[in-house]
Structures are given as structure tokens and as C-alpha cells.
Amino acid sequence: MNTKKKVGERFDWALAFIIFLFFIVSCISISSAQTSGQYGTNFVVMQIAWYVVGAIIIGMSLFFDPDQYRKLAWYLYGFGILLLIILIFAPESIAEPRNGAKSWFTLPGVGSIQPSEFMKTFMILAMSRLIVDHHQKYIYKTIKTDLLLLFKLLGVSFVPLFLIMQQPDLGTGLVLIAITLGLIFVSGITWKIILPSFTFFGILAGVILSIAIWKPDIIDKFVDDYQFGRIYSWLDPYSYQSKEGFHLIKSLQAIGSGEITGKGYNAWEVDVPERHTDFIFSVIGEEFGFIGSSIVISLYFLLIYHLIKIALDTKSQFNAYLCAGIISMTTFHVFQNIGMTVGLLPITGIPLPLISYGGSSLMGNMLALGIIFSIRFYHRNYMFSTNND
């Protein structure tokens, strides 16, 4: 039995308020970041415009209920793959390489669009449907059926991962891996498979990292010099302060100089490159200190907690897997971006969700959150709780 609610009651106002708080933090941070002499563009106005576009995306997302998203999952996944393939072969007039990566379409009157930002959500939709369809087909689970599901998930993630690494875009590739691991973790695959698999890949990653540090000549044919530089500058930034370690050193100086309360709005002294995008957290740390940084991190905890609550409340397995994928994506973004600005993780081109400047990143996140709004908007309460997919 469904309980009928008015449109206003079905809308997730709590999530909307959380996004509004991120909007305020983003505008304040970017407005200070752009006062650096390295910029001549008003990024705040552009970020406001992108937030308006993001709000429209959320509004459009509400026209589709989760069942429709499930039906469209493979079509959207295929569309995303097609865009990534076109990007590889597109002429530089519409896909100009930046910093050695061919990751953006340049559209007249619109600007740059990065297809991989949308591919993240498309992949979450496809993998969520894959898991649900698999469980419906194989009601009785065995080691064989779980292995089959594992290989299916790896196959679905491998195609976009391979195409994105051709750009190359290591940061986005790592996000896809994080999404895949998160969905494998909650997919119902037995721990007899997950534990050995995770252990194996963890050891493999450790071995590769050790080789990169101690015996780089073994893998130098497969890895670019700048990627080696990122690893070395992460471990010892001051030995590479004129090259790869420059960004990290400046970021550490900015965040460290902010101390407890910060220097105050627009009172920055350390000029960090890319401070309005990937290194926006260094602006927050310098100007608002430990207290301001903690508030921002707490805001992300609030967002993730809200998404977890939605995942637990939903009666649909498909919706729950969607939430799990989006949670994995958001958590990794936050952990990696903040981790790289404070030296805990190597530097990758991953923006801070909902705060860093960037149209594609913001629209991609708004698309994912729009699906969450749809889940809440079409949520049904049943007199007798059952799983309805």
C-alpha cells in the first residue's frame, strides 16, 4: 500500500540544502582563489552558471523514475562508450590536448566538456542493473555464479577504463576502479572470492609501486616519465621542488600556514597553481585554517551519511546499488583530492566534488545526485516491506 504525498513532501529538501551549502563554500573559495595574478577570468560567475545548469539537470532527472533509469542503463552506458571512442579519433580542432591528455571536447559557445565525468554515472547505472539482473537469473548462489558476476562487473568496467587510459587520464581511471570495487563489495559476492581477490590486487599494487620506486627501469616502457615524477615528488617533494613537487610544496605551505583559524577570507599569501580547481582545498586550509577545513570535511561526511541513509531506506536493490556506486565515487573523490593536497596521496587530476571549479565535473556530480533525488522522489512506503526491483 502506497502512502500518497504532495510533490513538495516527496522532494529531498535536506539534500538540496546540503548542495546549497556546497554552493556557498565553492563560490567563497573560488572568489578568493581567482584573485591570484595567474587568472584573468571571473570563475565565480561561471561557477554560478554551472550550478544553474546543474540544478536544471537535477530537475530533468526527476522526470525519470528509477525503473526508467534501469531500462535506460545500457543505452546510457553505450552512449558514454561511444563518446569516449569519438574523443580518441576526433581532430584537435574539437578535441584539443591539454597537458598531454586528450580528454575534452571543445564546443563553440559552450566550452569544454569532459565525457569521462558523465561516464562515471553511466557505468554505475549499468553495473547496478547488471548485479540486479544477475541475481534475478541466478536465484541460488554458488561459487560459480559469484565468479561469473565478478567477471561481468570487471568486464563492464574494463571498457571505459581502457578508453580513458588512452587519453591518458589516470585520475578518472582510479575513480572507475573505486566505483567497481565499491559495487563488488556490496554485490553479494561471497567473501571467499572477495577477500582473496582484494588481497591479490592489493599485493599487486604494492609490488608495482615498489618496482616504480626501486627498479623503475623494469616498467619504464609502460609508464611515462611524468608519472614516475608524480610518485617520486609525492615521496620526497623537496627534491623535486622545481618540477613535479612544486604543486605539493606550495599546497603544504598554504595549508600549514593557515594553522587553527586561518588568515581570513582573501588574505592568502601562498600562490598555489590551479588553486581554483584541483587545489581548492589549499585555499580553504590557508584562509580558514583547521576549523574551516574541518567544517568542509564534515559537510562531506553529512552528504555521504545522507546517501547511506537513502540506500538503507530504499526498498529496491537497484536503487541501493546506485547509491552504493555514487557513494564510492564521491568518497574516493574527496579522499583522493584532500589526500593529495596534504601529501598523503600522489597528485592526480581529481577535483574536489561540488567545490572545485569545473563545468563537466559539476554537471557529472549533479547528474549522479539527480538520480538520488529521483530515488527519493519516487520512494514508496509499503505496509509490508518487500524487495521490489
- pTM of the predicted structure, to 2 decimals: 0.90
Please report the pLDDT score of residue 142 as a whole number.
86
Count, residues in the chain: 389
Please report the pLDDT score of residue 346 as a whole number.
83
Nearest Cα to 268, choosing from 289, 248, 247? 289
SS3 assignment, position 75: helix
What 8-state DSSP symbol labels residue 17? H
Residue spans of beta strands (DSSP E) within 82-160: 105-107, 111-113
What is the rounded CA–CA span in Å between residue 359 and residue 365? 10
Q: Each residue of 273-302: b (16+ CB within 10 Å) or e?
A: ebbbbbbbbbbbbbbbbeebbeebeebbee
Q: Taking the CA atoms of the chain, what radius of gyration do you get in angstroms? A: 22
Q: Is the dihedral of CA 135, 138, 144, 148 positive or negative?
A: negative
Using CA atoms, how far residue 80 sits from 74, 116, 274, 337, 386, in Å, is 10, 8, 28, 24, 33
Domain boundaries, the chain: 7-189+244-377
Whether the Cβ atoms of residue 141 and residue 150 lie closer than 8 Å to each other: no
User: How far is C-alpha 297 from the chain's CA centre?
Assistant: 15
SS3 assignment, position 104: coil
For residue 154, give the H/E element and its range. helix 143-165
**Over its length of 389 residues, how does the chain's per-residue pLDDT go in tens digits?**
344 667 667 888 999 999 999 999 999 999 988 876 566 678 899 999 999 999 999 999 999 999 999 999 999 999 999 999 999 888 877 877 877 778 888 877 667 889 999 999 999 999 999 999 999 988 888 899 999 999 999 999 999 999 998 888 888 989 999 999 999 999 988 888 889 888 888 888 788 777 766 766 665 555 565 666 667 677 667 766 656 678 888 888 899 888 898 898 888 888 888 888 889 999 999 999 999 999 999 999 999 999 999 999 888 999 999 999 999 999 999 999 999 998 888 888 789 999 999 889 999 999 999 999 999 988 765 444 444 45
Instruction: Specify which residues 113 forms β-bridges with.
Output: 105
SS3 assignment, position 113: strand
What is the rounded CA–CA span in Å between residue 342 and residue 259? 13
